Structure 1
Amino acid sequence: MMKLGCSRLLLVSAHVLLCLSAIWTLAASADVPAGQRPGCPDKCGDVDIPFPFGIGQQCALHDGFDLNCTTVDGGAMKPFKWNLEVTDISLPDGKARMNAPTIATQCYVPSTGGMEYYPSWLNVTNSPFWISEVDNRIIVIGCNTLAYMISFSHLIGCHSTCAGVTLKNDTACSGAGCCEADVPKDLQYYDGYFDEEYNTTEIWRDSPCSYMVLMEKAAFSFKTSYVKSTAGFWDAYNGTVPIVLNWQIEQLNGCDEAKKKTSSYACVSRDSECVDTSNAMVPGYLCNCSDGYKGNPYIADGCQDIDECLENANPCGPEICQNTLGNYICSCRPGYYETDGVCVPIQKRSRFQPMPVIGASIGFVVLVILVACACLIQERRKLQKMKQNYFRQHGGLILFNEMNSKEGNAFKIFREEELQQATDNFSEKQVLGHGGHGTVYKGLFKGDMEVAVKKCMTIDEQHKKEFGKEMLILSQINHKNIVKLLGCCLEVEVPMLVYEFVPNGTLFHLIHGNHGRCISLSTRLRIAVESADALTYLHSSASTPILHGDVKSPNILLDGNHSAKVSDFGASILAPTDASQFVTLVQGTCGYLDPEYMQTCYLTDKSDVYSFGVVLVELLTGKIPFNLDAPEKEKSLAMMFMSAMKENRLAGILDDQIKGEDNIEIIEEIAELAKQCLDMCGDNRPSMKEVTEKLDGLMKVMRHPWAQQNTEEMESLLFEPTADSAIGSAEYFSIEKRAINAMQSGR
């Protein structure tokens, strides 16, 4: 039985690079487009192969669109890209449908009495393809099955169960024996896994096999045989599932940049136009025929005029249709003439009475206006009622009354129109960043007040019911190193949050942004102290303890003075008070995620401590937390650091900018603290309060002019173990005074 423990989860993903890695480079140019070259087939078996795709490198626009036409069992010819069978290519949509052998399975083996796990993966990085988040879904099948997919910056899955329900054949996948989750945007790579804590041998009689797959949602319908029989789902799809991939021509910053590269611009047909693609990770473009034309825009004269009069039912009705380039015109048939856009019989012309017709027309127009106004009023009432329902669902009345009862409370409940106006109707130009929970926009209110507006994607039912109460608690957070929550908007389906605007970017950008500036150890230590103090406040000093849940350097912002401000705590949870608040879906960021949380799915304050330990290691080493391109043992920064500490190789992984500073004892103390934070067992980690006090003590030592003169005596006084394994502020100043006296007497 293959084990996939949390400590190996990130390392296993390296194997996805063995087979599907594709190199996307431009092919040699030719005098004519490849689709017009003699000997280039336009079909493989029953599948059309339109240019820019081609069978062989010389027939494709570049290597990214090179396909193989292969003879399969039975003698049929089928096109393949890597090991994926291509079943359909759409030029206007920029989509390709393929059959992928990516079914992750786990099955009970009677001969061994255990479970066998077979993970799945897909990797189309460094190619013109990415997985369509619109056409595909993540589907998990089985009883008591928790499965998930992991990618560069996502960890998404769901839990299906059969307890207390009767399984029925249904096209819907509702959680009983089958559950599903959305595919994240811009996905080019994923690994699929099962959580063995859920998937046990105890249910094999009712559910001998479980499956996890990412596939085209229109091609899936749930059947009970998938759960109750061995290999039921596998046999139904013959080991492969349909998947839809988006594609684009070239990695450029949209059409404006593509048109400047005239030698490689792909929209060569005269009646074609360029279209920006929606892949935010690697922008690019597609080509389409102009309105009124159809065909292939990637070859010369490939877009041909559509004869609307012949192709469709006559668009002119009984009148005469005349085709034009890109359009058509209608004219009256013999015996009729046109008046006000209507063809009228000529013989009725003499009996035409203008006044009754004008009166009837005016009456009709008035009636239409009245009906339109009534419909508009009705729609506005519906919209207002819907906003009121959302407001009540999110606890708006309770929150509004509490805000009014507290004098001087700056927390505000915003209207949707206010936030739309402040963000230019949530324009893409106002986007500050994308996260796992939503998109953040920059907003500007009247009076030049800058804010950050977070538009969340989803909210679960538990948080929806408790949202107003949680806002009451979050609105009372007042700490100089925490981004201030200014208000929220509750009259929408998913509430929006409004924060103060922090101008100087993130700690991640400061460390890894290649800006050329030297970041001193004292600056790094100060940012660490301020961030730790903010998390200590959330854990210990807030009216209700708050668990951040996603501590990472991108969520630590820097203000005008480069002071740290912890952000994104609006996506956090209040500390659970009973078992009903148990979290069943692991969410977080690769490289920072607490391995104990991944095993138990239970978020604690020690989960934040682990993530903060990764941030400390980032500050010491200047390395990113998770690097898929690094060697096997260096992909996870936390694991590489723990190995270096165990083998006494700390100096070899330190950032070059702090190696030359005369504070190696301070660096070693910080490293030792980070090691404690990264302990695999949460109970062995220090609390955030203990971490803050330790870092604060180290920072005060660095500021004293005598700190370098008698380090050993200073450390024996300042860092001698206490009963609580941490130094409180009153105790610190007492020890500090003893240290100063000892050094003065030593002189």
Structure 2
Amino acid sequence: MDTTVAVVSLLFLQLLVTALAAPIALPGCPETCGDITVPYPFGTRDGCFRQGFDLICDETRHPPKLSLGGDHGAEVVGISLPDGTVRIRTRILDTSSLQQLNGTWSAGLRPGGPLALSARHNRFVAMGCNLLANLVAHDTLYSASDRIGVCAALCVSLSALPPPRDASSASCSGVGCCQTPVARGLSSYTIQLNDLAQRPAAAAASPLLVHAVAFIADQRWFRGQQDALKKNFLDDPRKLVDSTVVPTVLEWSLHVDADQDMFLYDPGVSQWKRCISVNSVVVDAVNGNAFDRTRCNCSRGYEGNPYIADGCQDINECLRPKVYPCNGTCINMQGTYGCSAKKNIINLAGPFTLTTIVVGFGLLFSLLGVAQVTKKLKKRRAKKFRQKFFRKNHGLLLQQLISSNKDIAEKMKIFSLQELEQATNKFDHNRILGGGGHGTVYKGILSNQRVVAIKKAKNVMQREIDEFINEVVILSQTNHRNVVKLFGCCLETEVPLLVYEFISNGTLSSYLHGQLENHLSWKDRLRIALETAKAIAYLHSAASISVYHRDIKCANILLTDTLTAKVSDFGASRSITIDETGILTVVQGTYGYLDPEYYYTSRLTEKSDVYSFGVILAELLTGVTPVFSSHSSEATSLASHFVSLMRDNRLLAILDTQIVLEGGVEDVEVVARLAHACLSLKGEERPTMRQVETILEDVQSSNIHHNSQTIRVSQSPLKDQPWKGGNGGEGTRVYSLEKEFIHSLEIPR
């Protein structure tokens, strides 16, 4: 008896759950317009639909009319989530002067939007005499001459036409009527109707010879209506056009990039796992590229809206005996149903119990088999995705480059996605080291126990892909102890993953601006400045090809456990040839470090990095952030404030007192003068990074002392090299480093 009660209770609970139907639209949004259901992602009010899925519900009409968004949107008569279709009503295109007609079919669809004509559901139809009908792709991707549907309707004379009342001969087979499939699903088309015959003057009065019509219709509807349509056309063409609306089928899909918040991504197999709702599956869209556009359906045994949380609800198969037959007692279960014999459950014993066990095990093994097949299909699909991204990210070219260049082969390795997932525990959140403007950095441990840093893009955008590939190209050609080393990359994801040496001590910004308690001494600051200058000078002039970093800042200077500086993050960098002095490019950089001359002219030069380095020198001297709040609570640029204080001989007002005590006024002042020169508004007045490196080496080696400064300056290798490039001689107000040093002696202390 207890067993019977349990079964009855289970059935009751399942019926209760089924009764609580999941919503079709978002909370607070109308689910219908008249008698037409409007499921999300479609909607008729702001906040109720996704971009491109907006519909208009005209409630002033009786019954209310639902139409596509836009001024000329066609009437919508049905929306199907399982099929991914929208049924609309369209008009017939006609002409009364059949010499030549160019018309447009669009139904109000937006180019590039989620809706497009269904190529598999529709037919292109034309009616008339001696008529050539062309369906031309009306899309920016195709030329105007790309005909994707052509048919001809012939009738030599009026006598060749079938009798108007003879329905048996009224099929659309090329005599007075023709049809052809639609080869490509787009948002709009051009329809061209051309007369194939020279009309005799006597025949021009016949409406059958001067009228022609064309339309795109649901092929199932047309198959049942073609006889009546042709008969009505022969009776009265004008009446047919005025009184007939044609059902047409559209298909819709979501974009895997723009709508990625609608999908749950499974990094284990590198593919979309399901939509927002549990018990949903991702299916490829019919129109368009399956890699770019996709849809969702509820899993087998569930119905509802997969685009809403908990939108897919279990089907009670027991309430649909015609669809799910059962010759015994039907028992509904999640996603499926069971069917037991008609005998009372209490009396089940003996052979039947054994049979039930055997069937149960058979069903279990069947499910396991299906699971294995599904797993293999997922792995195969994931492999295809990885191969696609590998080719897209120029993996074949990089493989060829590595195999043909021994130097690059020693520096670079192409990692598989599986290797990096194992190294980061599938990119566990606890492995995140930090992130910059171009990606998130994870700590990884490779199979050889080497600790590495792995950078992964934040956003899947073409710009991010280009920046990551740019960083691979630049770092594969650099070899300097103060430039972060690139061990390799992974090209099997949409945006390449970069694998660097692991730098354990964080960034210079963390030390200078309070994130870490460790205080940097003057000796460490001076050495870090010199090592950074050496790295930038190497990039500008000593690498195999000159590189402008374009984003020099404290956050991109990493420190090892011995506080050795490493310049990183080359996503925004640009390579130039030896004979170039600058390039015009879109302005990129970080506020507070950005070269004003580059900002206003868009011309990137090596002096742009010099300006950013000048801001770093100012940070090292003052401990102040590049942008800080002044007494008036307004954001103030450290660079402009630093230059202003230098000009007013009030530098001590902002210098870090501890640094002055440790380094001495003379050495600190020399570095301050160097920072002032780097921060000149005119790039030609700034020193080169080689000159900066030389001065910092002199300060570090204690070759600059107050008592013998004039002698040392005269011995400087920069004596005859003013900051200005080729024309910086006498008569200008551009200082050489020598004059800057001599001028610094005149500042009262």
State the TM-score, normalized to the length of structure 2. 0.48
Q: Which has the higher Rg, Structure 1 or Structure 2?
A: 2
